[in-house]
Amino acid sequence: MTNRGLFVGRFQPFHKGHLEAVKAILKRVDELVMVAGSSQYSHTLDNPFTTGERITMIRRSMEEENISPSKYLIVPVPDLHIHAIWVAQVVGYCPEFDVVYTNEPLTRRLFIEAGYNIEPVPFHRRKIYSSTNIRKRMLIGEGWEELVAESVAEFIKEINGLGRLQDLAKTDKI
Amino acid sequence: MTNRGLFVGRFQPFHKGHLEAVKAILKRVDELVMVAGSSQYSHTLDNPFTTGERITMIRRSMEEENISPSKYLIVPVPDLHIHAIWVAQVVGYCPEFDVVYTNEPLTRRLFIEAGYNIEPVPFHRRKIYSSTNIRKRMLIGEGWEELVAESVAEFIKEINGLGRLQDLAKTDKI
Amino acid sequence: MTNRGLFVGRFQPFHKGHLEAVKAILKRVDELVMVAGSSQYSHTLDNPFTTGERITMIRRSMEEENISPSKYLIVPVPDLHIHAIWVAQVVGYCPEFDVVYTNEPLTRRLFIEAGYNIEPVPFHRRKIYSSTNIRKRMLIGEGWEELVAESVAEFIKEINGLGRLQDLAKTDKI
Amino acid sequence: MTNRGLFVGRFQPFHKGHLEAVKAILKRVDELVMVAGSSQYSHTLDNPFTTGERITMIRRSMEEENISPSKYLIVPVPDLHIHAIWVAQVVGYCPEFDVVYTNEPLTRRLFIEAGYNIEPVPFHRRKIYSSTNIRKRMLIGEGWEELVAESVAEFIKEINGLGRLQDLAKTDKI
Amino acid sequence: MTNRGLFVGRFQPFHKGHLEAVKAILKRVDELVMVAGSSQYSHTLDNPFTTGERITMIRRSMEEENISPSKYLIVPVPDLHIHAIWVAQVVGYCPEFDVVYTNEPLTRRLFIEAGYNIEPVPFHRRKIYSSTNIRKRMLIGEGWEELVAESVAEFIKEINGLGRLQDLAKTDKI
Amino acid sequence: MTNRGLFVGRFQPFHKGHLEAVKAILKRVDELVMVAGSSQYSHTLDNPFTTGERITMIRRSMEEENISPSKYLIVPVPDLHIHAIWVAQVVGYCPEFDVVYTNEPLTRRLFIEAGYNIEPVPFHRRKIYSSTNIRKRMLIGEGWEELVAESVAEFIKEINGLGRLQDLAKTDKI
């Protein structure tokens, strides 16, 4: 029987911390379902990238690290903002899974109340490898490229991700 | 003719202040429709309890105080966040009513513009008997049990409401 | 411990068949949660009555038959048309329940897949006491009053329910 | 005081029957608000044209007939499929109005229940000047151009409306 | 060929700055489509006015300044909060356009990524003629009437817009 | 540069016709994005399987045929029923693509109007290898197993797919 894990995140963007976590989890499960949550959102300061862009980043990172695409799959799940149904929504979108990896308090709580087996995401150097930190560095023009896979850094440049983020940070309010 | 009142609230949680208000209102109307607003929400710091849990709290409180279930009914109404239709939404969900009891400025304003008869909720010791205050006390571990009916305090413990609220207050942002 | 049943229906309108079923179920459970499904709909040929009107019909019928309001409660639940989350949606809106009474194939199937205990609604003379039949009789002007509680027949006249249904059946298509 | 009428329709497409009705109504009111309902829909057999295309058709027809743009305005209103709030939705989207022109049974019924003044749309040769008829003729390749204003016929050709409708009528079901 | 501009705003309320911008833009395009965004919202501190009220304000302002209704049209567009589809949504609601006038960073960014021709709104004395500033002045009771067209000031008084805004600013939180 | 195709379908269920089509398309593109449309639906006669179940079927079929998971990815996309934004929705959910494979007339039309390069899905023996046909055979108890990959037939039995479909076909209407 395949032992399948679920890794819930937004991956805005997908960084080396995520990548190391995936490697660590893949030592414990046969296959990993990566839920790209809030899949309908993009073009905001907290969710700058589209689901298509996030999928591209994840696949390129995985390829760069020689993680076989047979070991993971990515499932975008839209957010309905009705927490009482969130677990059922994820269950409906994903192949059956045995254990949920998440550090996000709400997701963790909802899966616990639904009786699921939860494990923390084994993050490494969390303060540095954090999407929030990376988006902040992108905005203020500090180095962020080292924090994501090389191919992700390239892709973000290809789609002019920094220009997008910096434009979104502007305001016309006075 | 039945004189029916409408009491609009979120009841997160239902407390003794609500209970005293219900008693006071029931001296003026024959029957009270209690709208449990934002019915789709739960598991957030402001809306920790599900509609099912809120209904349980209200019914247990009422029973504890010997308020007959023939005197009130509870109607959960989801929020569509389109204020221009909120009154029509409530009217569609509820039996006909003659007067609206609310202190919430937006609800009050919308019913006034729609030509309804509005009365303030006769709250007693508002600063202490307040859902906001109770949720805050639950979070920081100060006594809150006295502020709700005994059966509500028991129920919140049964469902581990404090654990939920404290979990929701955590963050994985760094 | 209270043994609580869930009765899922649309009650368009609530008729004597429903009423007899409620009586039969109340011999087996202590309390009955009546889910008024598709709560957002009204003013169609299949769903002519608003949730508020349906609540009024149920309460009047129950009162006419001396069924205590402490034995049942009505919970309107909106339909999101996402079947994979329907059970979670109902669970979020209702107090905890032990057994689900329904004859509707989809509802039955969804609760079975979610591991719930299901019982058929003990309907009596189903062909005659049926909401579909009653709406049809209302439309073509055949006697329907006998099929609902007396107070429901009066209420439908009060709100000119027949006029509404007959208007909705008209068409301006040519 | 301006006497303002409301004309509710889908205008799929806007035809000479609509145009004659507008002229007739403008003899009775000072200004006409034309609600383009179901504004979110397009690219179906019943709603082939986008709201933008419908606005273009109405404006070109009006110009062709020398109806001043100061006499009418077009307001697209999305359909929420919750009939109990439809009148409130229209009221929120439109400048205040005094009388509603509609032949559509549901719209008529909803405005009557909300206490509005209703008038039938004074259609002329309804069987021929009908959007349903025009869409049918477009599909089977019978003459339809005479049934719409000349500029509308041109516009539909410009955007290849017939190609769209005929494509939508195809099926890949076997 | 008509050269058509698109002016995206919320117009909460429509003020003299908007009016001057419209005049400036109309020197460059033949016709202006004014998108009244977030069309479903009203009765909040940031979006106090309904779409119907905003349409009334714009039309009265234009009439006051003798801008012909043949030169502009107003198209309310609801916000779906899914930025990746926002441009497609606007395109579906509006007649074809050649250039987009906007200062709002998100709207600007989305139209740029979709390949549209963007121009800044030629605002004049932006700090004073600003909807944010006007709403703030209305709330604190400072003069705001000079900042909108005379007929808009009258209309806001007619509908008691200040009362609404001041009511919405109240709170029942303690 | 990767040449990427998009294959839009509902895959209810994924059958040998889909599988042959994928193989044929993979001779022309480097990578295939499979859009599992109507991703929010399940438990209906037309859409019996959840997105999670559909993903499982596709992955098992591909594995059975030794199609490398590096050659394809599955992207569930919810349907908003607003056709004017459907292409933008798909574009937001998927990695960039060069050509769209679809036989569905609406999808085909929408991508054509948006300027995309469209190709028909190279289906083989379409009348037999059709999801509609398979669901019909499942319902009436005729052989269907040969029409899907062996592992899909097993999976459908594992989840009791036939029981689900047959239950959904029942009715309690009289």
Touching, A vs E (3+ Cβ pairs under 8 A): yes
Which percentage of chain E shows pLDDT scores above 70?
A: 98
Give me the residue from B55, B93, B96 closest to C39, CB to CB.
B93
Phi, psi angles (nearest 5°) of residue F73: -145, 155
Calpha distance B33→B11 (Å, rounded)? 14
Chains contacting chain C through 3 or more C-beta pairs under 8 A: A, B, D, F
Q: In what order do the strands lie in the sheet with B72-76?
A: B72-76, B31-36, B4-9, B99-101, B118-119
User: How close are the terminal C-alpha atoms of chain B, in Å?
Assistant: 60
Cβ pair B48, B12 in contact under 8 A: yes
Query: C86-93 and C105-113 are packed helices; what angle lies between their axes, rounded to 10 degrees?
Result: 90
Residue F23 corresponds to which tokens in the numbers above?
Answer: 């193989």
Write the CB contacts of A136 (distance below 8 Å, at least 6 apart in sequence). Answer: none
Calpha distance C61→B162 (Å, rounded)? 40
Predicted local distance difference test score (pLDDT) of residue A164: 96
Interface D–E counts its CB contacts (< 8 A) at 70
Predicted local distance difference test score (pLDDT) of residue E126: 83
Top residue of A77, A80, A82, A85 to mutate, by most chain C CBs within 10 Å, is A85
Residues of chain B contacting A127 with CB distance shorter than 8 Å: 174
pLDDT (tens digit per residue) in E118-144: 999 998 888 889 999 999 999 999 999
Q: What is the dihedral of CA C48, C51, C53, C57, to 10 degrees?
A: 100
pLDDT (tens digit per residue) in C15-68: 999 999 999 999 999 999 999 999 999 999 999 999 999 999 999 999 999 999
Q: What is the dihedral of CA F99, F102, F108, F113, to 10 degrees?
A: -10
In a domain, residue B127? The reply is: yes
Query: Taking the CA of residue D147 as centre, how many other CA atoms within 13 Å lie in the half-sphere pointing to its CB?
Result: 24
Calpha distance A141→C164 (Å, rounded)? 64
CA F26 to chain centre: 16
Helix or strand holding residue D136 (H, E) = helix D131-140
In a domain, residue B174? The reply is: no
Residue F81 falls in which region: left (phi positive, over 0), alpha (psi -120 to 50) or beta: left
DSSP string over D102-113: ---HHHHHHHHH
Interface predicted TM-score (ipTM):
0.95
Helices marked H in D8-67: 16-25, 51-64
Residue B20 corresponds to which tokens in the numbers above?
Answer: 């005293």
Calpha distance A101→A107 (Å, rounded)? 10
Residues of chain A contacting B173 with CB distance shorter than 8 Å: 130, 132
Which residue bears the tokens 């047979």? A70
Asked, as a colleague might, if the bond just before C13 is cis with ω within 30 of 0, I would say yes
Predicted local distance difference test score (pLDDT) of residue A125: 84
Predicted local distance difference test score (pLDDT) of residue D146: 97
Chain C residues within 8 Å of chain B (Cβ atoms): 39-40, 42, 50-53, 55-56, 59, 63, 68-70, 73-76, 78, 91-96
Residues of chain A contacting E82 with CB distance shorter than 8 Å: 40-41
DSSP string over E66-98: T--TTSEEEEE----S-GGGHHHHHHHHS---S
Comparing CA positions, the residue from C7, C1, C26 lying closest to residue C99 is C7
Model confidence at C81, pLDDT cuts 50, 70, 90, reads very high
In a domain, residue A27? The reply is: yes
In a domain, residue D99? The reply is: yes
Report the CATH number that the domain containing residue D151 is assigned in CATH. 3.40.50.620
DSSP state of B85: G
Calpha distance A159→A149 (Å, rounded)? 16
pLDDT (tens digit per residue) in E48-91: 999 999 999 999 999 999 999 999 999 999 999 999 999 999 99
What is the distance in angstroms between the Cα of D106 and the nearest Cα belonging to chain C? Answer: 6
Write the CB contacts of C109 (distance below 8 Å, at least 6 apart in sequence). Answer: F43, F164, F167, F168
The amino acid at residue E155 is: F
Residues of chain B contacting E43 with CB distance shorter than 8 Å: 83-84, 106, 109-110
Q: Is the pLDDT confidence value at C173 over 80?
A: no
Q: Over its length of 174 residues, how does chain B's per-residue pLDDT go in tens digits?
A: 689 999 999 999 999 999 999 999 999 999 999 999 999 999 999 999 999 999 999 999 999 999 999 999 999 999 999 999 999 999 999 999 999 999 999 999 999 999 999 999 998 888 889 999 999 999 999 999 999 999 999 999 999 999 999 999 997 765
Instruction: Report CB contact under 8 Å: C105, F168.
Output: yes
Touching, C vs E (3+ Cβ pairs under 8 A): no
pTM listed for this prediction: 0.96
pLDDT (tens digit per residue) in A79-121: 999 999 999 999 999 999 999 999 999 999 999 999 999 999 9
Q: Is the pLDDT confidence value at C95 over 80?
A: yes
Helices marked H in E27-160: 51-64, 86-93, 105-113, 131-140, 150-158
Judged on CB neighbours under 10 Å (0-12, 13-18, 19+), B4 is: middle
What is the distance in angstroms between the Cα of D83 and the nearest Cα belonging to chain B? Answer: 9
Comparing CA positions, the residue from E122, E110, E114, E89 lying closest to residue E5 is E122
- HEC profile of chain C: CCCEEEEEECCCCCCHHHHHHHHHHHCCCCEEEEEECCCCCCCCCCCCCCHHHHHHHHHHHHHHCCCCCCCEEEEECCCCCCHHHHHHHHHHHCCCCCEEECCCHHHHHHHHHCCCCEECCCCCCCCCCCHHHHHHHHHHCCCCHHHCCHHHHHHHHHCCHHHHHHHHHCCCCC
Asked, as a colleague might, if the bond just before D69 is cis with ω within 30 of 0, I would say no
Give the SS3 label for residue F118. strand
Comparing CA positions, the residue from C37, C30, C18, C10 lying closest to residue C99 is C30
In a domain, residue D174? The reply is: no
C99: domain range?
4-169
Q: Is the pLDDT confidence value at F172 over 80?
A: no
DSSP string over D51-72: HHHHHHHHHHHHHHTT--TTSE
Predicted local distance difference test score (pLDDT) of residue D124: 81
Cβ pair A18, A45 in contact under 8 A: no
Q: Is the pLDDT confidence value at A137 over 70?
A: yes
Q: For strand E99-101 and strand E72-76, is the pairing parallel, antiparallel, or unpaired?
A: unpaired
In a domain, residue C81? The reply is: yes
| Residue C159: other Cβ atoms inside 10 A | 16
Predicted local distance difference test score (pLDDT) of residue C171: 78
Q: Is the pLDDT confidence value at F173 over 80?
A: no
Comparing CA positions, the residue from E6, F85, F113 lying closest to residue D41 is F85
Q: Apex CA D133: angle with CA D130 and CA D139, to 5°?
A: 140
In a domain, residue D36? The reply is: yes
Predicted local distance difference test score (pLDDT) of residue B104: 92
Write the CB contacts of F73 (distance below 8 Å, at least 6 apart in sequence). Answer: A55, A59, A69, A73, A74, F31, F32, F33, F34, F95
Cβ pair D30, D168 in contact under 8 A: no
pLDDT (tens digit per residue) in D14-49: 999 999 999 999 999 999 999 999 999 999 999 999
Q: Domain total for chain A?
A: 1
Q: Is the pLDDT confidence value at A173 over 90?
A: no
Chains contacting chain A through 3 or more C-beta pairs under 8 A: B, C, E, F
Chains contacting chain B through 3 or more C-beta pairs under 8 A: A, C, D, E
Comparing CA positions, the residue from C82, E42, D91, C89 lying closest to residue B78 is C89
Helix or strand holding residue D119 (H, E) = strand D118-119
Cβ pair C53, C93 in contact under 8 A: no
Q: Is the pLDDT confidence value at D101 over 70?
A: yes
Which residue bears the tokens 């579906």? E92
Query: D161-169 and D131-140 are packed helices; what angle lies between their axes, rounded to 10 degrees?
Result: 80
Minimum CA–CA partner of E49 in chain D: D92
In a domain, residue D94? The reply is: yes
